[in-house]
Chain A
Amino acid sequence: MRIKCPVCGERPLEEYAYRGDAKVQRPRTHAPDQANAWHDYVYLRDNPKGRQKEHWRHSGGCGAWLVVDRDTYTHEIFSVRLTKAARRRAK
């Protein structure tokens, strides 16, 4: 698999570290009534066969966190973009 880092260009898989589903949203508060939301956020992940947006880090390169739109079955990559803060840093 090859991923095109917006900063460094197309690079091989080993330069990247995988994290997982980019869709999950961190609950905004730590209030006790948020317990279920926290459980979902920390532990529950979809496991789709097909297209998914994922977090990857270019750990062997610029260190940027990326959102990679990838098909988990064919490994086709539809888009790679920097997260907002990484975009700012790249400027």
Chain B
Amino acid sequence: MSAQAYRLERGGLVERSKPLHFTFDQLQYDGYAGDTLASALLANGVRLVGRSFKYHRPRGIFTAGNYEPNALVELRNGARREPNTQATMAELFDGLEATSQNRWPNLSLDLLSVNSKLSPLLSAGFYYKTFMWPRSFWTKVYEPFIRRAAGLGSAAGANDPDRYEKAYAHCDVLVVGSGPAGLMAAEAASGAGARVILCEEHPRIGGALLTERIEIDGRPGQDWALDARSRLQASGVRIMPRTAVVGWYDGNTFAAMERVADHLAEPPAHLPRQRLWRIAAKQVVIATGAQERPLVFPDNDRPGVMLASAARTYVNQYAVRPGRRAVIFGNNQSMETTAHDLARAGVDIAAIIDPKDVVSSDISHVVRGQGVAVVRGGRSISGVKPSGRGAKTIGCDLICVAGGWNPSVHLISQRGMKPVWDNEIQSFVPPVTSGPGFICVGASRGLYSTESCLEDGYQAGLAAAREAGFKDVETATRTFTASGPEQGRVEPLWRPESGAKGKCFVDMQNDVTDKDVSLAAREGYVSVEHLKRYTTLGMATDQGKTANVPGLGLLAGDLGKEIGEVGTTTFRPPYAPVSLGVIAGHSRGPTWRPVRRTAFHGWAEEQGAKFIEAGLWMRWHYFPRAGEGFAEATAREVNQVRNAAGFADVSTLGKIDIQGRDAVELINRVYTNSFTKLPIGRARYGLMLREDGIALDDGTVTRFDKDRFFITTTTGEAGHVMEHLEYCHQVLWPELDVQMVSASDAWAGLAIAGPKSRDVIAELVDGFDVSNEAFPFLSAAEITVCGGVPAKLFRISFSGELAYELCVPYGFGDAVVRTLAERGARHGLVPYGLEALGIMRIEKGHVAGSEITGWATAGDLGLGWMVPEKKPHNYIGRAMAAREGLIDPNREVLVGLKSLNPSEKVPAGSHLIADGALNSPEADHGHVTATTWSPTLNAYIALGVLKRGRERHGEILRAANPLQKYDVMVEVADPVFYDPENARVRD
């Protein structure tokens, strides 16, 4: 066949000066710039493009838009391979590789098409019925078979190499759709002064002006659209082609997907593949137009059967004859337009089959009062036999189907508005044409003449601008002289001719037939929502854009009801397929979420530190030296802290600066213990509860002045505690005169710990006395270090050693840590990481996140001493902490656990079972929360929670870990393994 044998010599919007080469199933073809893959395939005479989902029937190109159920292909190759793409929406580019789907070994010979013969087994709900017995066959036989047979294309199986973006836009008036109504709405709103965004899912602006032969004020529609586009651009309207508005959400927020580079082989380096827009609009004009629907008749899915409007689009916009000899079949007067447009393009009109007698009497070749009984052909069409007695087959290679129009009510439906049936035009239309924030115009509300769409759009544009705040805008009307296609008279026609042979498809993508709909009705699935789920009608990737209304028509007939009474299912976002890539945007791989590094990160990297993600932070894990593994390095770090000095990064702790006359009052109301008598220059450990009496967080509270406090929180709860304190102040106790600010990121923090830490600190401070007498345990001061760097110095300890915490402004952090490491070296100072920190806290019996779990009370954690009886305040959690269940002596409380054999580890999560008892919920008395090898004690130790644990020190239990099939005997001990007198911190 010669190249592009079906291409017209003239006309259309393709650029004949820009030929493009592409392949389909490895065969070379040519097309032009401005083609879709579908139009280029048709231009080359390719009719068969895919196989159907269930029956593997041969399928062709059925539509010219986003409602295509059949022509789904794989685009591109390798990591960019994209399955299930509508050929009707894929713009042609040079070098495009497209492949058909769902066939084996090839498109012409597909072995699974035997399914079509098995169709009695595959009727509606077959997956509930057919594969039920024997039960044991399900996983071994049925499921693998169904999985292999089901589905269409296959995913790339490699990381997507392209970038995706999210973007935000705001406007006074959003116009969705750029047909006649949308263009006029945008022009009117913009002329009134409104900021307007116009979204169009296709690459060209114009909608039906491009696809139909329309004339407006003497200008051809395609030219008029270009003029309108120029006018809009000049007036500052933001025109967004290739952008489908896919979702309409609360507060007039819209999701729109822009296919930025889908029409290119690869996105250029500076562009993403796609962009997901969020558009906040004061007003929206819905100008989404209408889509033609098919008719249900035997073998209506054959390649060569096409919507009449699609056939017109191919001749008018793409200059492609979709066939050489056409039969037109329909229920409305647009069949005349189709005949006219096709004949003009040189397509023979073999017949117009007009069962409802709607075509004007002056048209020839009309078969009146008959339907379609037989479609001849398989992988292409050879003829149609009308249903009349003795009717002869009419030879043709194209059947154009005109079943009436469906206004695109999807967005309206997403907002919970139920479309209503308009009997006059045989369509579901919006229940109201305007409401708060929106106006529906043109074909989307059932207006089908070009003139009325233009006028409707113009008035809506003015009204939207006025509603958006341009109050001076006056109502005005504008009239146009236009000609174009009309639906004209339309008659209901839902059911195939009785006695017709062959499958009559309703939902082509999911292979649902009229018999499936009737079966569902017979079996009692009479609600439209049940029909959908039982038959899968409307549940394919096209969301039943062509299938839903014919399905409802059939169901209504079966139930003896009107369509309006049956109602319609709810359309949900997205209106058009949205890729997972664009939903993720930049949130994937290393940019999945922000990486937070502290001020000391660069220095630590130079030291060869290993890092670990903890919460949002990259924290020091350990600092291996040459020849050291993880265990050796962490043990050395612990030993160095216990015997000389070490320093750790504690910048990630939450820090809150609280000031004001009532600062101490607020603090007293949120911590269990009292701070009234905390002297200036002193720090105190504090515990916060939740209002239900459970421990929330712990940290230190430091008083730097009478009305000025500085508190710390754990790393993990920093944000939560800030929110909690602001709630307490702003909502519960607004009368308190207090202000607070998060200072977490403002200060970089270092813990300097070990018997030599005082000598190290002395090297840094600017003439400040750090002797034990002048600056004892739990002292705090605002000083300068390293020759004038402002600093907060605390004498607090987490490790159990003499220790300090030093905070300096973030920007000084790097310089200070370098000075510290250098000056501390002569005292044996080493950096230590999170692992050493964790080991030492277990040795010291300090609770952390693995104990403060959200169900532990202060008493459970061994912190009962921090809950004084005498405190007068009605502090957060006080009342509820006194509940019976929370003070039950049988609760699981913090204990230490020593492995009886010191060289046997105690796995975290092990259950604590009474010695001699079998594993059972009754014998389960607690569990291990944290475990470590203790370099200090030369033994495996652990922390855990145990029923009545404080009374059970010395008892032998079995730590059982059935998951790891590992049991170890442990002795219950005091949780403080190291320096129980707490003498070292005070030295």
* Chain A contacts to B: CB under 8 angstroms: 1-2, 10, 12-13, 17, 19, 22, 26-30, 32, 34-35, 38, 41-43, 55, 57, 59, 63-65, 75, 77, 82-86, 88-89
Contacts and interface: CB of A to CB of B under 8 A. Distances in A.
B729 A85 contact: yes
B692 A65 contact: no
Interface in B702-733: 722-723, 726-727, 729-733
12 contacts: A1-B251, A2-B250, A17-B723, A26-B732, A28-B874, A30-B882, A35-B883, A38-B879, A42-B692, A55-B727, A57-B723, A83-B730
Nearest to A88: B734
Nearest to A67: B731
Most chain A beta carbons < 10 A, residue from B691, B732, B734 = B734
B376 interface: no
Nearest to A38: B879
A35 B251 CA distance: 41
B326 to A, nearest CB: 49
B734 A84 contact: yes
B301 to A, nearest CB: 42
Nearest to B884: A35
Contact of B726 (A12, A42, A57, A77): A57
A32 to B, nearest CB: 7
A17 to B, nearest CB: 7
Contacts of B880: 38, 42
Nearest to A11: B280
Contacts, number: 73
Chain A interface mostly: mixed
Contacts of B278: 12
B855 interface: no
Given A2-B251, A89-B739, A29 B874 contact: yes
Contacts of A30: 874, 878-879, 882
A37 to B, nearest CB: 9
Most chain B beta carbons < 10 A, residue from A41, A77, A85 = A85
B879 A27 contact: yes
Contacts of A35: 879, 883
Interface residues of B, number: 28
Contacts of A22: 731
B727 A19 contact: yes
Given A57-B723, A83-B731, A84-B734, A2 B280 contact: yes
Given A2-B250, A38-B880, A77-B251, 7 more contacts: A2-B253, A2-B280, A13-B251, A30-B879, A63-B722, A75-B250, A88-B734
A65 B250 CA distance: 22
Contact of A34 (B727, B729, B879): B879
A86 B251 contact: no
Contacts of B126: none
A43 B883 CA distance: 14
B726 A65 contact: yes
Contacts of B253: 1-2, 12
Given A2-B251, A2-B280, A29-B874, A55 B879 contact: no
A47 B732 CA distance: 22
Contacts of A64: 730
A86 to B, nearest CB: 5
Most chain A beta carbons < 10 A, residue from B252, B731, B733, B882 = B731
A64 B731 CA distance: 10
Contacts of A43: 692
B63 to A, nearest CB: 35
A75 B251 contact: yes
10 smallest beta-carbon distances between A and B, as pairs: A85-B734, A84-B734, A2-B251, A30-B879, A75-B250, A1-B250, A65-B730, A85-B730, A83-B730, A38-B879
Given A75-B250, A85-B734, A12 B727 contact: no
Contacts of A10: 280
A3 B39 CA distance: 46
B249 interface: yes
Nearest to B727: A65
Contacts of B882: 30, 32
B584 to A, nearest CB: 15
A63 B726 contact: yes
Nearest to B883: A35
Contacts of A83: 730-731, 734
A57 B250 contact: no
Contacts of A88: 734
Contacts of A84: 730, 734-735
Contacts of B730: 64-65, 82-86, 89
A27 B732 CA distance: 11
Contacts of B878: 30
Interface in B204-252: 249-252
